[in-house]
Structure 1
Amino acid sequence: MSNTPPDRLSVDPDSPFHDEAVLARGVGVRFNGNEKKNCEEYCVSEGWVRLAVGKTLDRKGKQLTIKYNGTVEPYFEDIPKES
């Protein structure tokens, strides 16, 4: 497996961008230089993340998310970070 996270990844099992093997390694996301723990989905090439909003659910029973544009830097948590 590569040491580079995929360009697009989702934690939703119904999404075509869901990858259980990659998520099992632990993927962290830096968005505009800040660590985000509530990231539901990201896309590096398009420059956006979907962040969970509280405990609010949408009409399908999934957690409500908001899409933000900016710089996305995914990384694997099992690889030491460069300082």
Structure 2
Amino acid sequence: MTQIDSPPDRLSNDPRSPHYDEAALDRGIGIRFKGVERRDVEEYCISEGWIRVAAGKALDRRGQPLTIKLNGEVEAWYLLPPKA
């Protein structure tokens, strides 16, 4: 029986987020948004159809990058196989 290996529905690269998953991030996540592969994604949600990306070089008062939410079709996949 084959099990489909797919990344989480929602994932953030911010350790303070409840959607942070270090094991998934260690494997690397590929993101395709509206048919274009993106490498600047801070957070994504496949079921809701959005990604968050940094808004230029602006920072908030805590020193974190400001992000904007973009809506559209989101596809995600692992870049590396699972560790045995």
State the TM bucket, normalised to the shorter chain: 0.7 to 0.9
Q: Find runs of 4+ consecutive structure 1 residues off by over 2 angstroms.
A: none
Correspondence for 1:23 among 22, 25, 29? 25
Give 3-state SS (helix, strand or coil) of 2:30's partner.
Answer: strand
How many residues align? The count is: 78
Correspondence list, 1:34-45, <5 A? 34-45=36-47
What residue number does 1:75 align with?
Answer: 77
Deviates more, 1:10-19 or 1:45-54: 45-54
Give 3-state SS (helix, strand or coil) of 1:3's partner.
Answer: coil
Aligned-pair identity in percent equals 58
Normalising by structure 2, report the TM-score: 0.87
The CA RMSD measured in Å over matched residues stands at: 1.2
What residue number does 1:10 align with?
Answer: 12
How far is 1:56 from its partner? 1.5
Partner Cα separation in structure 1 for residue 28 and residue 53 of structure 2 = 17
What 5-or-longer segments of structure 2 have no aligned partner?
none
Normalising by structure 1, report the TM-score: 0.88
Letter in 1 for 2:34: N
